[in-house]
């Protein structure tokens, strides 16, 4: 089970029982994998500026999320949390709402 505890003012953030610090090698390997997976070189895994901060994920030099390394029962995984602000989305289409794909229409 993985959960993150938000830092309390005046306290340093800390890792949960299965979250691990990412090494420079982890960062380089993950960046290489993501660039190959998405077929682009505009992805960058950014090391934290100082101890206690999160590793960040950038696309075209814009930070879009955070990266976390989890080690549990001898297995290691990396999770990416991407944040999209509503103000960054294009305006909603006007007119009737579009039906989700696969929704049957009226007959």
Q: What is the pLDDT of residues 17-32, one digit of tens each?
A: 456 789 999 999 999 9
- pLDDT, mean over the chain: 82
The pLDDT of residue 2 is above 50: no
Q: Is residue 40 domain-resident?
A: yes
Q: What burial letters (b/e) apply to 60-91, b meaning 16+ CB within 10 Å?
A: eeeebbbbbbbeeeeeeebeeeeeeeeeeeee
Q: Is residue 6 domain-resident?
A: no
Range of the structural domain that residue 50 is part of: 19-85
102 or 76, greater pLDDT: 76
Number of domains in the chain: 1
Going from the C-alpha of 11 to that of each of 4, 19, 51, 67, the distances in angstroms are 15, 18, 13, 21
The pLDDT of residue 16 is above 70: no
Q: Is residue 100 domain-resident?
A: no
Q: Is residue 55 domain-resident?
A: yes
Quick one: DSSP state of residue 61?
T
Q: Name which of 28, 54, 53 is nearest 43 in CA terms.
A: 28
């Amino acid at each position: 089970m993985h959960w993150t505890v938000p830092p309390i003012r005046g306290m340093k953030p800390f890792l949960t029982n299965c979250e691990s610090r990412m090494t420079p090698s982890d960062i380089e390997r993950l960046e290489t994998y993501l660039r190959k997976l998405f077929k682009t070189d505009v992805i960058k895994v950014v090391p934290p500026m100082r101890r206690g901060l999160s590793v960040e994920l950038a696309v075209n030099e814009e930070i879009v999320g955070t990266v976390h390394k989890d080690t549990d029962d001898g297995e290691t995984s990396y999770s990416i949390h991407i944040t999209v602000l509503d103000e960054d989305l294009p305006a909603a289409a006007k007119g009737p709402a579009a039906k989700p794909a696969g929704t049957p229409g009226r007959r």
